[in-house]
Amino acid sequence: MKSLTLDHTSFWYPATASPALRDVSLDVAQGEIVALVGALGAGASTLLLVAADLAPRVIGGRLAGAVARRDRSGIVLPTPWTQTSGMAFTVWDEVAFGPANLGWPTHEIARQVDRALERLELVPLASRDPVTLSGGELQRVIIAAILAMDPGLVLFDEPAAELDGEGARTLWRLIRLLAKDGKAVLLATSALDALPDVADRVVWLENGAVRAVGTPDLLADVVVCDAGLGTSVATVWRAGGLPEPYPLTVADAVQRWR
Amino acid sequence: MTGARLHPFTLLAIAGALPALAWILPAPSGGTVTAAIGLTLAASRGLRRGLWPAVLTAAPFWLFLLLLHDVPTTIAIGLRITTMVASFVWLVAALEPARLVDAMVAAGWSASVAYLLAATLSAVRVLKARARRIVEAQRCRGLSPRGGIAARLRALRALALPLVLSALHEVDERALALETRGLVPGIRRTPLAPPPDPAVEQAARWALLLACLLALVRRFVVPRFT
Protein backbone atom coordinates (compact mmCIF):
# COMPACT_ATOMS: atom_id res chain seq x y z
CA MET A 1 0.00 0.00 0.00
CA LYS A 2 1.31 3.44 -0.94
CA SER A 3 2.29 5.64 1.99
CA LEU A 4 3.30 8.63 -0.14
CA THR A 5 2.50 9.52 -3.74
CA LEU A 6 3.80 12.52 -5.63
CA ASP A 7 2.10 13.02 -8.97
CA HIS A 8 3.76 15.47 -11.39
CA THR A 9 4.79 17.63 -8.43
CA SER A 10 6.66 20.89 -8.85
CA PHE A 11 7.63 23.29 -6.10
CA TRP A 12 8.84 26.87 -6.10
CA TYR A 13 10.44 28.49 -3.03
CA PRO A 14 9.07 31.94 -2.16
CA ALA A 15 10.23 34.72 -4.48
CA THR A 16 11.92 32.38 -6.97
CA ALA A 17 11.07 32.02 -10.63
CA SER A 18 12.51 28.58 -11.31
CA PRO A 19 11.20 25.51 -9.49
CA ALA A 20 13.28 23.57 -6.97
CA LEU A 21 11.30 20.45 -7.92
CA ARG A 22 10.22 19.82 -11.49
CA ASP A 23 7.42 17.47 -12.41
CA VAL A 24 8.40 14.79 -9.92
CA SER A 25 6.33 11.61 -9.82
CA LEU A 26 7.25 9.13 -7.12
CA ASP A 27 5.63 6.80 -4.66
CA VAL A 28 6.85 5.09 -1.54
CA ALA A 29 5.10 1.97 -0.30
CA GLN A 30 4.80 0.77 3.28
CA GLY A 31 7.84 -1.33 4.15
CA GLU A 32 9.89 0.20 1.34
CA ILE A 33 13.10 2.22 1.56
CA VAL A 34 13.63 4.75 -1.21
CA ALA A 35 16.90 6.69 -1.37
CA LEU A 36 17.26 10.06 -3.06
CA VAL A 37 20.69 10.78 -4.50
CA GLY A 38 21.98 13.74 -6.40
CA ALA A 39 24.43 16.61 -6.39
CA LEU A 40 24.03 19.58 -4.04
CA GLY A 41 20.94 21.54 -5.01
CA ALA A 42 19.42 18.59 -6.87
CA GLY A 43 16.20 18.93 -4.85
CA ALA A 44 16.42 15.97 -2.45
CA SER A 45 15.93 18.05 0.72
CA THR A 46 13.13 19.99 -0.94
CA LEU A 47 11.40 16.76 -1.92
CA LEU A 48 11.57 15.64 1.72
CA LEU A 49 10.04 18.93 2.89
CA VAL A 50 7.21 18.51 0.40
CA ALA A 51 6.69 14.90 1.50
CA ALA A 52 6.60 16.03 5.14
CA ASP A 53 3.91 18.62 4.33
CA LEU A 54 6.25 21.39 5.46
CA ALA A 55 6.56 22.88 1.97
CA PRO A 56 4.70 25.00 1.11
CA ARG A 57 2.45 24.87 4.22
CA VAL A 58 5.11 26.13 6.66
CA ILE A 59 7.94 27.56 4.59
CA GLY A 60 5.78 29.18 1.93
CA GLY A 61 6.23 28.95 -1.82
CA ARG A 62 4.03 27.36 -4.45
CA LEU A 63 3.20 23.74 -5.21
CA ALA A 64 1.85 22.30 -8.45
CA GLY A 65 0.69 18.75 -8.96
CA ALA A 66 -0.65 16.38 -6.34
CA VAL A 67 0.81 14.97 -3.12
CA ALA A 68 -1.06 12.19 -1.31
CA ARG A 69 0.01 11.06 2.15
CA ARG A 70 -1.61 8.06 3.75
CA ASP A 71 0.38 8.08 6.99
CA ARG A 72 1.58 10.69 9.46
CA SER A 73 5.18 11.59 8.64
CA GLY A 74 8.22 12.44 10.73
CA ILE A 75 11.30 14.13 9.30
CA VAL A 76 14.86 14.07 10.64
CA LEU A 77 16.65 17.21 9.44
CA PRO A 78 20.43 17.27 8.90
CA THR A 79 21.39 19.56 11.81
CA PRO A 80 20.41 17.98 15.15
CA TRP A 81 21.10 21.03 17.32
CA THR A 82 18.32 23.01 15.62
CA GLN A 83 15.81 20.24 16.28
CA THR A 84 15.93 20.08 20.06
CA SER A 85 12.87 21.36 21.86
CA GLY A 86 14.90 23.56 24.20
CA MET A 87 12.45 22.49 26.90
CA ALA A 88 14.07 19.30 28.11
CA PHE A 89 16.73 18.84 30.76
CA THR A 90 17.09 15.11 30.05
CA VAL A 91 17.30 13.00 26.91
CA TRP A 92 14.18 11.10 28.03
CA ASP A 93 12.17 14.32 28.21
CA GLU A 94 13.56 15.47 24.85
CA VAL A 95 12.39 12.26 23.18
CA ALA A 96 9.02 12.54 24.95
CA PHE A 97 8.43 16.09 23.67
CA GLY A 98 6.85 14.98 20.38
CA PRO A 99 4.66 12.16 21.74
CA ALA A 100 3.38 14.51 24.46
CA ASN A 101 2.39 17.00 21.76
CA LEU A 102 0.31 14.28 20.14
CA GLY A 103 -1.79 14.10 23.30
CA TRP A 104 -1.14 10.42 23.92
CA PRO A 105 -1.75 8.94 27.37
CA THR A 106 1.28 8.98 29.65
CA HIS A 107 1.80 5.20 29.64
CA GLU A 108 1.84 5.13 25.81
CA ILE A 109 4.33 8.02 25.74
CA ALA A 110 6.59 6.13 28.18
CA ARG A 111 6.34 2.93 26.12
CA GLN A 112 7.23 4.64 22.84
CA VAL A 113 10.05 6.70 24.38
CA ASP A 114 11.63 3.68 26.08
CA ARG A 115 11.41 1.68 22.83
CA ALA A 116 12.97 4.48 20.78
CA LEU A 117 15.79 4.94 23.31
CA GLU A 118 16.52 1.20 23.20
CA ARG A 119 16.51 1.12 19.39
CA LEU A 120 19.00 3.99 19.18
CA GLU A 121 21.11 2.54 22.04
CA LEU A 122 20.47 5.67 24.08
CA VAL A 123 19.34 4.12 27.36
CA PRO A 124 22.66 4.96 29.12
CA LEU A 125 22.19 8.61 28.11
CA ALA A 126 18.53 8.86 29.16
CA SER A 127 19.19 11.16 32.11
CA ARG A 128 21.83 13.35 30.41
CA ASP A 129 21.14 17.01 29.56
CA PRO A 130 20.81 17.25 25.73
CA VAL A 131 23.00 20.38 25.59
CA THR A 132 25.94 18.32 26.90
CA LEU A 133 25.79 15.70 24.13
CA SER A 134 28.11 15.37 21.14
CA GLY A 135 26.81 15.93 17.62
CA GLY A 136 26.49 12.19 16.95
CA GLU A 137 24.71 11.51 20.24
CA LEU A 138 22.33 14.39 19.62
CA GLN A 139 21.59 13.10 16.11
CA ARG A 140 20.60 9.74 17.61
CA VAL A 141 18.42 11.53 20.18
CA ILE A 142 16.60 13.42 17.42
CA ILE A 143 16.06 10.23 15.41
CA ALA A 144 14.69 8.58 18.57
CA ALA A 145 12.46 11.63 19.13
CA ILE A 146 10.94 11.24 15.67
CA LEU A 147 10.55 7.45 15.93
CA ALA A 148 8.87 7.81 19.35
CA MET A 149 6.03 9.61 17.54
CA ASP A 150 5.48 6.38 15.59
CA PRO A 151 5.22 7.94 12.11
CA GLY A 152 4.10 5.71 9.24
CA LEU A 153 6.35 7.60 6.82
CA VAL A 154 9.88 8.36 8.05
CA LEU A 155 11.91 10.96 6.17
CA PHE A 156 15.66 11.27 6.71
CA ASP A 157 17.78 14.14 5.38
CA GLU A 158 21.46 13.13 5.57
CA PRO A 159 20.86 11.05 8.71
CA ALA A 160 24.45 9.78 8.96
CA ALA A 161 26.11 13.19 8.57
CA GLU A 162 26.92 13.57 12.28
CA LEU A 163 27.55 9.89 13.00
CA ASP A 164 30.79 7.95 13.22
CA GLY A 165 31.20 4.67 11.33
CA GLU A 166 29.66 2.47 14.02
CA GLY A 167 26.82 4.95 14.62
CA ALA A 168 26.07 5.01 10.90
CA ARG A 169 26.02 1.20 10.68
CA THR A 170 23.58 1.09 13.63
CA LEU A 171 21.41 3.65 11.87
CA TRP A 172 21.31 1.71 8.58
CA ARG A 173 20.37 -1.47 10.48
CA LEU A 174 17.62 0.47 12.25
CA ILE A 175 16.27 1.81 8.96
CA ARG A 176 16.01 -1.76 7.64
CA LEU A 177 14.16 -2.71 10.83
CA LEU A 178 11.76 0.21 10.38
CA ALA A 179 10.92 -1.01 6.89
CA LYS A 180 10.46 -4.53 8.26
CA ASP A 181 7.94 -3.05 10.72
CA GLY A 182 6.00 -1.75 7.74
CA LYS A 183 7.12 1.86 7.78
CA ALA A 184 7.78 3.71 4.55
CA VAL A 185 11.23 5.32 4.50
CA LEU A 186 12.38 8.08 2.18
CA LEU A 187 15.95 9.23 2.71
CA ALA A 188 18.29 11.72 1.11
CA THR A 189 21.89 10.75 1.59
CA SER A 190 25.38 11.16 0.22
CA ALA A 191 26.48 7.95 1.98
CA LEU A 192 26.22 6.08 -1.30
CA ASP A 193 28.21 3.03 -0.19
CA ALA A 194 25.53 2.14 2.36
CA LEU A 195 22.68 2.12 -0.13
CA PRO A 196 23.19 -1.32 -1.77
CA ASP A 197 22.50 -2.90 1.64
CA VAL A 198 19.82 -0.43 2.74
CA ALA A 199 17.70 0.89 -0.12
CA ASP A 200 15.08 -0.95 -2.14
CA ARG A 201 15.02 1.75 -4.78
CA VAL A 202 17.28 4.64 -5.70
CA VAL A 203 16.02 7.87 -7.25
CA TRP A 204 18.58 10.05 -9.01
CA LEU A 205 17.60 13.71 -8.90
CA GLU A 206 19.17 16.35 -11.11
CA ASN A 207 18.20 20.03 -11.09
CA GLY A 208 14.98 19.21 -9.26
CA ALA A 209 13.83 16.54 -11.71
CA VAL A 210 13.96 12.74 -11.58
CA ARG A 211 16.77 11.66 -13.88
CA ALA A 212 16.53 7.92 -13.22
CA VAL A 213 14.90 5.42 -10.87
CA GLY A 214 16.10 1.89 -10.22
CA THR A 215 17.47 -0.66 -7.84
CA PRO A 216 20.73 0.22 -6.01
CA ASP A 217 22.52 -1.28 -9.03
CA LEU A 218 21.92 2.15 -10.53
CA LEU A 219 24.87 3.36 -8.42
CA ALA A 220 27.22 1.31 -10.60
CA ASP A 221 25.78 2.65 -13.83
CA VAL A 222 28.28 4.34 -16.12
CA VAL A 223 26.26 7.54 -16.48
CA VAL A 224 25.64 7.75 -12.72
CA CYS A 225 29.34 7.20 -12.01
CA ASP A 226 30.18 9.92 -14.55
CA ALA A 227 27.95 12.25 -12.49
CA GLY A 228 29.95 11.39 -9.37
CA LEU A 229 27.15 9.39 -7.76
CA GLY A 230 28.56 5.88 -7.99
CA THR A 231 29.62 3.79 -5.02
CA SER A 232 33.30 3.96 -4.04
CA VAL A 233 33.98 0.56 -5.59
CA ALA A 234 32.34 1.50 -8.90
CA THR A 235 34.17 4.84 -8.92
CA VAL A 236 37.58 3.20 -8.29
CA TRP A 237 36.85 0.54 -10.93
CA ARG A 238 36.04 3.29 -13.42
CA ALA A 239 39.11 5.35 -12.44
CA GLY A 240 41.25 2.24 -12.97
CA GLY A 241 40.01 1.98 -16.54
CA LEU A 242 38.58 -1.48 -15.90
CA PRO A 243 35.86 -2.80 -18.20
CA GLU A 244 32.13 -2.27 -17.70
CA PRO A 245 29.83 -3.14 -16.05
CA TYR A 246 31.22 -1.63 -12.87
CA PRO A 247 30.89 -3.64 -9.65
CA LEU A 248 28.59 -2.15 -7.02
CA THR A 249 30.20 -3.45 -3.85
CA VAL A 250 33.48 -4.93 -2.66
CA ALA A 251 31.93 -8.41 -2.88
CA ASP A 252 30.95 -7.77 -6.52
CA ALA A 253 34.46 -6.54 -7.30
CA VAL A 254 36.08 -9.59 -5.70
CA GLN A 255 33.77 -11.86 -7.70
CA ARG A 256 34.58 -10.00 -10.92
CA TRP A 257 38.30 -10.04 -10.19
CA ARG A 258 38.30 -13.81 -9.80
CA MET B 1 14.47 28.89 50.10
CA THR B 2 15.68 28.25 46.57
CA GLY B 3 12.23 28.21 45.00
CA ALA B 4 13.00 25.44 42.52
CA ARG B 5 10.32 23.08 43.89
CA LEU B 6 7.59 25.72 44.14
CA HIS B 7 4.81 25.51 41.56
CA PRO B 8 5.81 27.46 38.42
CA PHE B 9 2.81 29.77 38.82
CA THR B 10 3.98 30.61 42.35
CA LEU B 11 7.45 31.44 41.03
CA LEU B 12 5.91 33.65 38.34
CA ALA B 13 3.65 35.31 40.93
CA ILE B 14 6.59 36.14 43.20
CA ALA B 15 8.73 37.35 40.28
CA GLY B 16 5.83 39.51 39.10
CA ALA B 17 4.69 40.83 42.48
CA LEU B 18 8.11 41.99 43.65
CA PRO B 19 8.71 44.49 40.80
CA ALA B 20 5.06 45.58 40.98
CA LEU B 21 5.39 46.32 44.70
CA ALA B 22 8.74 48.02 44.11
CA TRP B 23 7.08 50.54 41.80
CA ILE B 24 3.88 50.93 43.82
CA LEU B 25 5.29 51.24 47.36
CA PRO B 26 6.74 54.62 48.38
CA ALA B 27 10.45 55.10 47.73
CA PRO B 28 13.02 54.48 48.98
CA SER B 29 11.72 52.25 51.78
CA GLY B 30 9.50 50.11 49.53
CA GLY B 31 12.21 49.65 46.93
CA THR B 32 14.78 48.84 49.61
CA VAL B 33 12.65 46.02 50.99
CA THR B 34 11.76 44.57 47.56
CA ALA B 35 15.35 44.86 46.27
CA ALA B 36 16.61 43.14 49.40
CA ILE B 37 14.11 40.31 48.92
CA GLY B 38 14.92 40.07 45.19
CA LEU B 39 18.67 39.94 45.78
CA THR B 40 18.24 37.41 48.58
CA LEU B 41 16.20 35.20 46.27
CA ALA B 42 18.82 35.58 43.52
CA ALA B 43 21.59 34.76 46.00
CA SER B 44 19.69 31.64 47.05
CA ARG B 45 20.38 30.25 43.55
CA GLY B 46 24.12 30.65 44.14
CA LEU B 47 26.61 33.46 43.80
CA ARG B 48 27.61 32.73 40.19
CA ARG B 49 24.17 31.74 38.97
CA GLY B 50 22.05 34.24 40.87
CA LEU B 51 23.60 37.10 42.79
CA TRP B 52 26.45 38.13 40.47
CA PRO B 53 24.36 38.18 37.29
CA ALA B 54 21.72 40.28 39.10
CA VAL B 55 24.24 42.77 40.51
CA LEU B 56 26.24 43.02 37.27
CA THR B 57 23.08 43.55 35.18
CA ALA B 58 21.68 46.18 37.55
CA ALA B 59 24.96 48.10 37.99
CA PRO B 60 24.97 49.92 34.60
CA PHE B 61 21.44 51.20 35.28
CA TRP B 62 22.66 52.80 38.51
CA LEU B 63 25.46 54.48 36.57
CA PHE B 64 23.13 55.90 33.92
CA LEU B 65 20.61 57.03 36.55
CA LEU B 66 23.33 58.83 38.46
CA LEU B 67 24.34 60.66 35.30
CA LEU B 68 20.75 61.72 34.58
CA HIS B 69 19.24 62.34 38.03
CA ASP B 70 20.00 63.52 41.55
CA VAL B 71 20.95 61.03 44.25
CA PRO B 72 17.47 60.52 45.82
CA THR B 73 15.88 59.83 42.41
CA THR B 74 18.75 57.54 41.46
CA ILE B 75 18.25 55.54 44.66
CA ALA B 76 14.47 55.39 44.21
CA ILE B 77 14.54 54.20 40.58
CA GLY B 78 17.73 52.16 40.99
CA LEU B 79 16.19 50.07 43.76
CA ARG B 80 13.14 49.42 41.62
CA ILE B 81 15.22 48.38 38.62
CA THR B 82 17.39 46.22 40.86
CA THR B 83 14.24 44.49 42.10
CA MET B 84 13.12 43.84 38.50
CA VAL B 85 16.51 42.48 37.47
CA ALA B 86 17.00 40.34 40.58
CA SER B 87 13.50 38.89 40.31
CA PHE B 88 14.02 37.97 36.66
CA VAL B 89 17.45 36.46 37.27
CA TRP B 90 16.02 34.40 40.16
CA LEU B 91 13.06 33.31 38.01
CA VAL B 92 15.28 32.18 35.14
CA ALA B 93 17.52 30.27 37.55
CA ALA B 94 14.68 28.69 39.55
CA LEU B 95 12.07 27.92 36.92
CA GLU B 96 12.47 24.84 34.73
CA PRO B 97 10.81 25.62 31.37
CA ALA B 98 9.49 22.06 31.03
CA ARG B 99 7.73 22.33 34.42
CA LEU B 100 6.18 25.62 33.32
CA VAL B 101 4.88 24.03 30.11
CA ASP B 102 3.43 21.10 32.07
CA ALA B 103 1.84 23.43 34.63
CA MET B 104 0.31 25.67 31.95
CA VAL B 105 -0.96 22.74 29.88
CA ALA B 106 -2.43 21.11 33.01
CA ALA B 107 -4.18 24.42 33.75
CA GLY B 108 -5.75 24.38 30.28
CA TRP B 109 -3.46 26.81 28.46
CA SER B 110 -2.57 26.25 24.81
CA ALA B 111 0.68 24.30 24.40
CA SER B 112 1.89 26.81 21.79
CA VAL B 113 1.47 29.75 24.20
CA ALA B 114 3.11 27.76 27.00
CA TYR B 115 6.02 26.90 24.71
CA LEU B 116 6.45 30.53 23.67
CA LEU B 117 6.72 31.66 27.29
CA ALA B 118 8.94 28.79 28.36
CA ALA B 119 11.21 29.16 25.31
CA THR B 120 11.88 32.76 26.30
CA LEU B 121 13.09 31.60 29.70
CA SER B 122 15.09 28.66 28.34
CA ALA B 123 16.78 30.82 25.69
CA VAL B 124 19.34 31.93 28.29
CA ARG B 125 20.47 28.34 28.89
CA VAL B 126 20.56 27.45 25.19
CA LEU B 127 22.44 30.61 24.23
CA LYS B 128 24.94 30.06 27.06
CA ALA B 129 25.71 26.56 25.76
CA ARG B 130 26.13 27.87 22.22
CA ALA B 131 28.27 30.81 23.40
CA ARG B 132 30.56 28.34 25.18
CA ARG B 133 31.04 26.40 21.93
CA ILE B 134 31.76 29.60 19.97
CA VAL B 135 34.31 30.75 22.56
CA GLU B 136 36.03 27.33 22.34
CA ALA B 137 36.11 27.62 18.54
CA GLN B 138 37.52 31.16 18.72
CA ARG B 139 40.17 29.97 21.19
CA CYS B 140 41.25 27.31 18.72
CA ARG B 141 41.79 30.13 16.24
CA GLY B 142 43.97 32.00 18.70
CA LEU B 143 41.53 34.54 20.13
CA SER B 144 41.83 34.74 23.90
CA PRO B 145 38.80 35.89 25.91
CA ARG B 146 41.12 36.84 28.78
CA GLY B 147 43.38 39.84 29.34
CA GLY B 148 42.73 43.58 29.45
CA ILE B 149 39.53 45.43 28.57
CA ALA B 150 40.53 45.85 24.89
CA ALA B 151 41.22 42.13 24.52
CA ARG B 152 37.93 41.23 26.22
CA LEU B 153 36.01 43.65 23.97
CA ARG B 154 37.61 42.06 20.91
CA ALA B 155 36.64 38.63 22.21
CA LEU B 156 33.11 39.86 22.93
CA ARG B 157 32.71 41.07 19.35
CA ALA B 158 33.99 37.75 18.04
CA LEU B 159 31.43 36.01 20.24
CA ALA B 160 28.39 38.25 19.78
CA LEU B 161 28.28 38.32 15.99
CA PRO B 162 28.30 34.54 15.36
CA LEU B 163 25.98 34.02 18.33
CA VAL B 164 23.31 36.38 16.98
CA LEU B 165 23.74 35.36 13.34
CA SER B 166 23.58 31.63 14.10
CA ALA B 167 20.47 32.13 16.25
CA LEU B 168 18.76 34.02 13.41
CA HIS B 169 19.93 31.50 10.82
CA GLU B 170 18.44 28.60 12.77
CA VAL B 171 14.99 30.13 13.24
CA ASP B 172 13.58 28.63 10.03
CA GLU B 173 14.91 25.15 10.66
CA ARG B 174 13.80 25.21 14.30
CA ALA B 175 10.28 26.16 13.19
CA LEU B 176 10.24 23.16 10.83
CA ALA B 177 11.54 20.88 13.56
CA LEU B 178 8.92 21.98 16.09
CA GLU B 179 6.21 21.57 13.50
CA THR B 180 7.29 18.02 12.71
CA ARG B 181 7.49 17.26 16.42
CA GLY B 182 3.84 18.07 16.81
CA LEU B 183 3.94 21.60 18.19
CA VAL B 184 1.13 22.98 16.06
CA PRO B 185 -1.75 25.30 16.95
CA GLY B 186 -4.74 23.60 18.49
CA ILE B 187 -2.96 20.56 19.92
CA ARG B 188 -3.92 19.10 23.29
CA ARG B 189 -0.54 18.24 24.81
CA THR B 190 -0.21 15.64 27.53
CA PRO B 191 1.53 17.09 30.61
CA LEU B 192 4.41 14.68 31.26
CA ALA B 193 4.78 15.47 34.96
CA PRO B 194 2.31 18.16 36.03
CA PRO B 195 3.75 19.80 39.15
CA PRO B 196 1.62 19.60 42.31
CA ASP B 197 -0.15 22.83 43.18
CA PRO B 198 -0.81 22.74 46.95
CA ALA B 199 -3.62 24.86 48.39
CA VAL B 200 -1.14 26.84 50.46
CA GLU B 201 0.67 27.97 47.31
CA GLN B 202 -2.58 28.88 45.60
CA ALA B 203 -3.48 30.94 48.68
CA ALA B 204 -0.04 32.57 48.62
CA ARG B 205 -0.54 33.61 45.00
CA TRP B 206 -3.88 35.21 45.81
CA ALA B 207 -2.28 36.90 48.81
CA LEU B 208 0.43 38.37 46.59
CA LEU B 209 -2.17 39.66 44.16
CA LEU B 210 -4.15 41.12 47.06
CA ALA B 211 -1.01 42.75 48.46
CA CYS B 212 -0.36 44.44 45.11
CA LEU B 213 -3.95 45.68 44.91
CA LEU B 214 -3.89 46.97 48.49
CA ALA B 215 -0.59 48.74 47.84
CA LEU B 216 -2.11 50.28 44.72
CA VAL B 217 -5.16 51.49 46.64
CA ARG B 218 -3.03 52.86 49.46
CA ARG B 219 -0.78 54.67 47.01
CA PHE B 220 -3.31 56.20 44.62
CA VAL B 221 -6.82 56.02 46.11
CA VAL B 222 -6.41 56.73 49.84
CA PRO B 223 -4.50 60.05 49.40
CA ARG B 224 -7.47 61.51 47.46
CA PHE B 225 -9.73 61.13 50.49
CA THR B 226 -7.28 62.39 53.11
pLDDT at residue B226, as a whole number: 67
Domain ranges for chain A: 2-217, 218-258
Q: Would you say domain A2-217 falls under CATH 3.40.50.300?
A: yes
What three-state secondary structure class fits A77? coil
Contacts of A97 in chain B (CB under 8 A): 181
| Rounded-to-integer distance, Cα B156 and Cα A162, Å | 29
Residue A120 DSSP code: T
A95-119 confidence digits (pLDDT tens): 999 999 999 999 999 999 999 999 9
Across-strand partners of B46? none
Closest approach of B93 to chain A, Cα-based (Å): 13
Query: What pTM was estimated for this model as a whole?
Result: 0.82
Contacts of B191 in chain A (CB under 8 A): 100
CA-nearest residue of chain A to B131? A131
d(CA A37, CA A140): 22
For residue A223, how many other CB atoms are within 10 A of its CB? 12
Lowest mean pLDDT among A6-10, A67-71, A212-216, B97-101: B97-101
A101 and B119: CB-CB below 8 Å?
no
Instruction: Note the pLDDT of residue A86.
Output: 81
Question: In the prediction, which pLDDT does A203 show?
Answer: 97
B182/A109 Cβ within 8 A: no
| Per-residue pLDDT tens digits of chain B, which is 226 residues long | 456 689 999 999 999 999 999 999 998 999 999 999 999 999 999 998 899 999 999 999 999 999 999 999 999 999 999 999 999 999 989 988 888 888 998 998 888 888 888 888 777 777 887 888 888 888 888 777 677 777 777 778 888 888 888 888 778 888 888 899 998 888 889 998 889 999 999 999 999 999 999 999 988 887 777 6
Compute the nearest-CA separation of A132 from chain B (Å): 8
From the list B176, B181, B190, the residue facing A109 with the nearest CB is B190
**Among residues A158, A226, A228, which one has the least CA distance to residue A194?**
A158
The amino acid present at B75, given as its one-letter code, is I
- Please give the pLDDT value at position B4: 63
Q: What is the pLDDT of residues A127-146, one digit of tens each?
A: 999 888 988 899 999 999 99
Q: Do A77 and B182 touch (CB under 8 A)?
A: no
CA–CA min distance A22, chain B (Å): 23
* More confident call, B142 vs A174: A174
Q: How far apart are CA A252 and CA B5, in angstroms?
A: 63
Measured N-to-C along each axis, helices B149-169 and B171-180 cross at an angle, to the nearest 10 degrees, of 40
How many inter-chain contacts (A to B, CB under 8 Å) are there?
88
Q: What is the pLDDT of residue B2?
A: 56
Q: Do B98 and A52 count as a contact with CB atoms less than 8 A apart? A: no
Alpha carbon A113 to chain centroid, angstroms:
21
pLDDT for A204 beyond 70: yes
> Do strands A21-29 and A2-12 pair parallel, antiparallel, or not at all (unpaired)?
antiparallel
The whole-angstrom separation of Cα B108 and Cα B87 is: 26
- B184 to chain A: closest CA residue: A101
